[in-house]
Amino acid sequence: MTKQILFVLLIASTNCFSQYYKSYDWSEKPKLHTITADEQKEHSIGILKKNIVEYTTAALTSDLKAYETFHTITRVNDEKGIGQHNTVYIPMYDVKNVIDIKARTINSKGKITLLNKDNIKEVKNVEEYGDFKIFAIEGVEKNSEIEVLYTVEKNADLFGSETLQSNYKIKTAQFLYITGDLNSEIKAYRTASKFESVTTDGKASKLLEIKNIPAMIEEEYATPDANKIAVVYQCFPKGQNITQEMFWNNVVTNVGNKIIPETVNPKVDADIQTITKGQKDLTTYQKIVLVDNFVKSNFTVVKNNNEELSDLDYVLKNRSSSDFGILKVYANYFKTLDVAYELVITANRFTYKFDPDFFIPNMLRDFLIYIPSEDKYISPDRVEYRVGEAPFNILGNYGLFINEEFGYYFSKIVQSDPNFSTIKRNTDITFNDDFESATLKQHQEYTGHWSITNRAVLSLSSDQGIKEFKDYLTGSGIEDKVIESYEVENGDMNQTEYNKPFITKSTISSESIIEDAGDSYLFQIGKVIGTQSELYQETERVNPIEMTYPNQYDYTITVNIPDGYTVEGLNSLNIDKSYKSNSTGEKICKFESSYKLEGNKLIITIQEFYKSNEYDLNRYEEFRSVINAASDFNKASIVFKTK
């Protein structure tokens, strides 16, 4: 949908050849492929994943035509492998005609079972994805090969993309791009393999072949889905050559015309009254906060096919909007209130890396509003976000910024406030007389993305979610804890002050945190900082390191040593791990903990921070040592002995 709204098709013209898909076929007498012993241990192995994209022009109408052929052969070795590949979903989004769909199974004994085409089902209007053809593969057993081959004619968009990597190994992946005498562009991401110029049925083509693509694996602090090997392409109508700049200009003009108002819709006046309550001397910051809180408390952003959800009059009346329509609402309010703004078009970095150098509409997925004077972002369709930094799933991606004069530029979306997301936690620990239990009194202040999440969970969750969250906020990982008191301050999602902390005050008690060891007591002090993540790395790290967002923790733990006792084993409380910037030598992430003894008090201070959102993959071990330092501290225990 976004695509149609964002992009006005640039027009087409001539030429004719027979299409390659007509002669392309699977092998007449298929045989099982040999796989290695290691490959046999996997749930499934891609033997072949081939995509053919062919652009051509129809002789009489001179329209651009596009055909796409998908051909896969997949070995399935076990129940899970079968489950992953025995159901096929073919999206009909943008498909004009289905030319052919066929599938077959070759079992371990070489028996072939052909898909009965009557069993292909059509499913209409699925969630936000449009129509599908679906079918289940017939005759699959363990150690079978599943082969699927289909061709569709697409609405001739000038661009497309295809992901070549998957979450299982692929032995051969091919992307064949047939454009003949049409001008075109193609680009591959995250592979060293190069396109080769080939001729397919007399037509100029490009072929990318990659052997042995490893399975993309899940890793912490990474965006694996967005890091897969992929291809993007553009093909232009006969005789035309469109530059990236022309594409971007087209988007800017189109979006600008639709959203940035020349004159304000008169219906917004009443809302402005409600928003400002007649106050005339509001600062820009106050204005944008009031507008954002108003929109989020009165409008619902909806995903469906109702085109009116992008019509300003309709949206203002019904208070329901598309993610596109809601931008018009903000634009009109801001124009009335004389607030300068820029529109930002970008993408979720976990699914797509925005590329300013190669235009495809697929990456224009998310909208933000940027207020240059305040260096702050608004996330119009995100009910949990308020004026501040960009949402964490966008942070670090590039965006297209469009100002009110239709000027544009690209910029990486970065956090402007380096200390946006912090946790301050003070814990005061006392023991009862016989060391049966410990009481932890905590005061915690969360800011930035932490506070946004906390407020959202408490405001939007089910009872079960709220229950789990309460556990998380009060010493997670202390199994037998009893929550004696717990309160939250500043929990409302609508705040007017910039980055106001979300505060919790709690008292918990635990017996299991103390261990009676004959003549002494072991106190698992590390558990006080809560369960910490541990980065495992048995295999070589694949994905670049990306944090969820930059953040900082400052903890102070005060242990009140009971009379008549001394405390030992404090060395494990001193930890100092860091990762220094190559250029400045400054620590950009670290975990530091130390202690001091003051009378009957043991005072531990911890500072952990991650100033940057991205870290050098080559220095992964250093990064890991910082992350794991917190997990080390979590294991620390100290010993109380009678004097």
Q: Does 295 bind another protein (CB under 8 A)?
A: no
Gap between the Cα atoms of 354 and 397, Å rounded: 6
- String of DSSP letters for 344-366: EEE--TTT----TTS--GGG--E
Q: Does 383 bind another protein (CB under 8 A)?
A: yes
Among the listed ranges 8-16, 196-204, 410-418, 629-637, the one in contact with another protein (CB under 8 A) is: 629-637
Gap between the Cα atoms of 555 and 592, Å rounded: 10
Among the listed ranges 277-285, 318-326, 405-413, 552-560, the one in contact with another protein (CB under 8 A) is: 318-326
> For another protein, which is the closer residue by CB, 186 or 513?
513
Give me the helix-helix angle, 463-473 and 448-460, nearest 10°: 140
* # residues contacting another protein (CB under 8 A): 82
Q: Which of residues 528-547 bind another protein (CB under 8 A)?
A: 532, 534, 536, 538-539
Among the listed ranges 134-142, 228-236, 336-344, 374-382, the one in contact with another protein (CB under 8 A) is: 134-142
Please, is 241 exposed, middle or buried when counting C-beta atoms within 10 Å of its C-beta (0-12, 13-18, 19+)?
exposed
**Closest to 375 in 3D by CA, of 384, 391, 388, 385:** 388
Q: Does 302 bind another protein (CB under 8 A)?
A: yes
Gap between the Cα atoms of 407 and 255, Å rounded: 12
Among the listed ranges 202-210, 237-245, 603-611, 624-632, the one in contact with another protein (CB under 8 A) is: 624-632
Residue in 108, 243, 305, 600 binding another protein, rule: CB under 8 A? 305
Query: What's the min distance (Å) between Cβ of 112 and another protein?
Result: 12
Give me the helix-helix angle, 284-298 and 268-276, nearest 10°: 120
Q: Which of residues 63-82 bind another protein (CB under 8 A)?
A: 79-80, 82
Q: Kindly report the CA angle at 545 between 39 and 634, in degrees rounded to 5?
A: 100
Query: What's the min distance (Å) between Cβ of 232 and another protein?
Result: 25
**Closest to 19 in 3D by CA, of 154, 209, 166:** 154
The tally of CA atoms less than 13 A away on the side-chain side of residue 236 is: 14
Contacts of 405 (CB under 8 A, 6+ apart): none
Query: What's the min distance (Å) between Cβ of 141 and another protein?
Result: 6
Q: Does 318 bind another protein (CB under 8 A)?
A: yes
Q: Does 111 bind another protein (CB under 8 A)?
A: no
Q: Does 463 bind another protein (CB under 8 A)?
A: yes
Q: Kindly report the CA angle at 208 between 204 and 209, in degrees rounded to 5?
A: 130
> For another protein, which is the closer residue by CB, 190 or 641?
641
Among the listed ranges 193-201, 426-434, 582-590, 628-636, the one in contact with another protein (CB under 8 A) is: 628-636
Cα of 566 vs its chain's centroid, Å:
50
Question: Which parts of 226-299 fold into alpha helices (H)?
Answer: 244-259, 268-276, 284-298
Q: Does 25 bind another protein (CB under 8 A)?
A: no
Residue in 25, 100, 375, 568 binding another protein, rule: CB under 8 A? 568
Print the binding letters for residues 407-426 with another protein: x by CB under 8 A, - otherwise.
Answer: --------------------
Query: What's the min distance (Å) between Cβ of 305 and another protein?
Result: 6
Q: Does 96 bind another protein (CB under 8 A)?
A: no
Among the listed ranges 193-201, 347-355, 422-430, 460-468, the one in contact with another protein (CB under 8 A) is: 460-468
Residue in 14, 15, 167, 240 binding another protein, rule: CB under 8 A? 167
Residue in 89, 108, 239, 601 binding another protein, rule: CB under 8 A? 89
Residue in 266, 278, 518, 585 binding another protein, rule: CB under 8 A? 518
Neighbours of 236 (CB within 10 A): 19
**Closest to 73 in 3D by CA, of 33, 120, 114:** 33
Q: Does 493 bind another protein (CB under 8 A)?
A: yes
> For another protein, which is the closer residue by CB, 204 or 383?
383
> For another protein, which is the closer residue by CB, 126 or 264?
126
Gap between the Cα atoms of 212 and 279, Å rounded: 65
Element (H, E) at 603: strand 601-610
Contacts of 533 (CB under 8 A, 6+ apart): 220, 627, 630, 631
Among the listed ranges 151-159, 186-194, 231-239, 464-472, the one in contact with another protein (CB under 8 A) is: 464-472
Q: Does 95 bind another protein (CB under 8 A)?
A: no
In three-state form (DSSP H/G/I as H, E/B as E, the rest C), the secondary structure along 505-521 is EEEEEECCCEEEECCEE
Q: Which of residues 218-257 bind another protein (CB under 8 A)?
A: 218
593: three-class secondary structure by DSSP? strand
Q: Does 458 bind another protein (CB under 8 A)?
A: yes
Q: Which amino acid is at 157?
A: D
